[in-house]
Structure 1
Amino acid sequence: MLHLPAAWVWDFWLADDGDRFHLFFLKASRALLDPDRRHWRATVGHATSTDLVVWTEQPDALVPADGPSFDDLATWTGSIVRDDTGTWRMFYTGVSREGRGLIQRIGSATSVDLLVWSRHQPHFVIKPDPRWYESIADRSWPDEAWRDPWVFHNEADGLWHMLVTARANSGAADQRGVVGHATSADLARWSVAEPLSASGSGFGQLEVLQIANVDGQNVLLFSCLSSELSDERKARGERGGIWAVNIDNPTGPFAVENAYRVADETLYVGRLVQDRYGKWQLLAFKNTALNGEWIGEITDPMPVTWIGGRLAIPPLLSNIDTSLPISKSV
């Protein structure tokens, strides 16, 4: 478990150098007193482990840039890949003072050792294409969602793909959450494409996306809070947490309307990772206690398996939402 006495930690992502696991996470000082204030003070922390249980804190990876910049207010969630030269590339979210923290953009940083990071030069920013994605001017959501990039290489087409927390520019306001999409041949030049899921799936947003192949089955993982489910899902008694969709093709399309819940929202931002024994584990951050108090620390690894066609955490079976039909691969 990762608990920092001086800071809250929440969204996170991992890299594996073959020797150590590297955990990158959002952090903010507990001196803020109110955890709701953490978002505008977020930096990217870093810790390492050989077993996903005992973590050693390292120097922070990224802090807000000197202004003016797309990330001069706060640095948010991302992912890390290694390119053909052995260079590590982090794609992360930034918000700016100019945009009052409401306009989210994606930038990049590089490292040779996962310890010291340099922002991409010449600097670039990936932004949503208004042909498909909502803007702040639409006034249907509190912010312009374009964050939490998940980058992976697809052998079938030879391209790098980026999945993004985004919102479509059409449909009911409470159901516009979609899987945003961009592609690149070299990790430097990106083309934004249409979403890989459709508006109307019942989610206001799909946070912290991840694709993994767990024991031969592809799965899309994301998180959504109860407050950001559609009115229709709320009326059916559904609640938020960590969600999954069984998929055939890692590049979509994704039938997000078939999503089922893996854990309730006492846990949030589930990340799948293989341990040193090749077993799939899920880490998450502890979101709220039973009394509603916000916690802000990262769990020990939890083994996952398939039960009745659903990805499940056996020790937390009571968190699994069994009211929804089991979805098939799409």
Structure 2
Amino acid sequence: MPPSMQHPSRHVWDFWYHFDAEAKLFHIFYLNADRALVSSGKHHFASTVGHATTPDFDSIDWGDEDSFNILKPSPGHWANTSIWSGDVIKVKNGYLMFYTSRDRNQDDGLTQSIGVAYTDNLWSTQWQVLDTQINPSAAYQTKSLDGDLTFHAWRDPFLFRRQDGCIDMLVAAKTSAGAVGCNGAIALLTLATADFPAAIRGEREWNYLAPIAQPCCYAEMEVPQLYKNSRGSYELVFSTWAKYDFAPATAGQGGFQSLTLPTSGGTSEETISFSPSSQDFQVLIPESKGLYACRIVPELDGEIIGFDSQAGGIRRSGIKTKFEAMNRDFSDLIVVI
């Protein structure tokens, strides 16, 4: 595999991006922390969001000394701890970042929610953090449980649009039903397009649909995404550590995995046949290859790119899936903040 691209002074892991097609430039948003915290695992609880750019993921411009801290916890906000993985989309009057964070005063301090931030300029070093807080419904664990293999999960949002006028969001979650330790799931939330601006301001609740995946064989299904494959079907992808992978088809390899979702009589998002209980998973890259929290990058022939789980930094895999993007064009929507 190609070498990992390292920040000059920070430990870097999960990332997400927005591609500026006109400038042919990827804007990368990444989790980062002081390298001194990595050996103790404390970097997860001190992470902020940084901004970098690249034309091709072969080299990265990490910006200046302000660029690694564009979104950070605010003492007076519910998101008053570290920031975890998110998503970024372009709307007509700017950009929205959906991110994960926690309130240190709630439960054990590990209960997660989805928040929203706004900027009118992707190069900004200061995003406007909104009060919006998207919490799990009763169908999902609302806090950590004793005896679980991992703590609470309600994180890693990923948005796309359907032709029927709805906006969907995937979230890494745990179902409230099922065996503890095997109830990792991927939640599916939806909104009518007309309700999206109000939901961004926290004035409208998302609708909680049945999970897109609840296979009862993972402790966690992290960083979920959805893409189209060359056969006209859809690929639900996610990451999991090998020690939390109990799927019959994966031999406990963990890593970056996929589930093919067939269509029923068409090729639009409305005809996706969700199979929540399916365990027919495919390992795209096993954990042993040293990449985690991978993203499919359709602009680069669907190449799989993740973070180096040993040394940190962002690394190409060289594996090109040819997967295509869902509709992630939100540029017709105006959001009044």
The answer, yes or no, to whether TM exceeds 0.5 is yes
TM-score category of the 2 structures, normalised to the smaller one: 0.7 to 0.9
* Structure with more strand by fraction: 1
Q: Partner residue of 2:184?
A: 177
Q: Partner residue of 2:166?
A: 159
Counterpart CA distance in 2 for 1:243 and 1:93 is 22
**Is this contact kept in 1: 2:218–2:245, CA < 8 A?**
yes
**Structure 1 stretches of 5 or more lacking a match?**
288-293, 312-330
Counterpart CA distance in 1 for 2:90 and 2:314 is 24
Q: 5 Å matches for 1:156-305?
A: 157-184=164-191, 185=193, 186-187=196-197, 188=200, 189-215=204-230, 216-230=232-246, 233=248, 237-248=251-262, 253-255=274-276, 256-265=278-287, 266-275=290-299, 279-287=301-309, 294-300=310-316, 302-305=318-321
**Is this contact kept in 2: 1:183–1:191, CA < 8 A?**
yes
Count of residues in correspondence between the two structures: 293
Give the deviation of 1:30 after TM superposition: 0.7
**TM-score if structure 2 supplies the norm length?**
0.79
Q: Partner residue of 1:14?
A: 17
**Is this contact kept in 1: 2:119–2:128, CA < 8 A?**
no
Counterpart CA distance in 2 for 1:87 and 1:301 is 32
Counterpart CA distance in 2 for 1:183 and 1:271 is 22
Counterpart CA distance in 1 for 2:306 and 2:52 is 15
Larger RCO, structures 1/2 (Cα 8 Å, 6+ apart): 2
Q: CA RMSD in A?
A: 2.4
**Is this contact kept in 1: 2:171–2:186, CA < 8 A?**
yes
Give the deviation of 1:190 after TM superposition: 4.0
Counterpart CA distance in 1 for 2:114 and 2:284 is 28
Q: 5 Å matches for 1:49-68?
A: 49-58=54-63, 59-60=67-68, 62-68=70-76
**Structure 2 stretches of 5 or more lacking a match?**
264-268, 324-337
Q: Bigger shift: 159-168 or 89-98?
A: 89-98
Q: Partner residue of 2:101?
A: 94
Q: Bigger shift: 94-103 or 192-201?
A: 192-201
**Is this contact kept in 2: 1:220–1:245, CA < 8 A?**
yes
**TM-score if structure 1 supplies the norm length?**
0.81
Give the deviation of 1:303 after TM superposition: 3.7
The percentage of counterpart residues that share the same residue type is 26
Q: Bigger shift: 253-262 or 20-29?
A: 253-262
Q: 5 Å matches for 1:24-39?
A: 24-34=29-39, 36-39=41-44
**Is this contact kept in 1: 2:110–2:144, CA < 8 A?**
no
Give the deviation of 1:34 after TM superposition: 1.2
Counterpart CA distance in 2 for 1:283 and 1:86 is 29
**Deviations, residues 126-156 of structure 1 (Å, cap 9, x unaligned):** 00011x111226435342210000011112x
- Structure-2 change in CA distance of 1:33 and 1:128 (3 Å): closer
Give the deviation of 1:233 after TM superposition: 4.5
Please tell me the residue identity of whatever aligns with 1:2: M
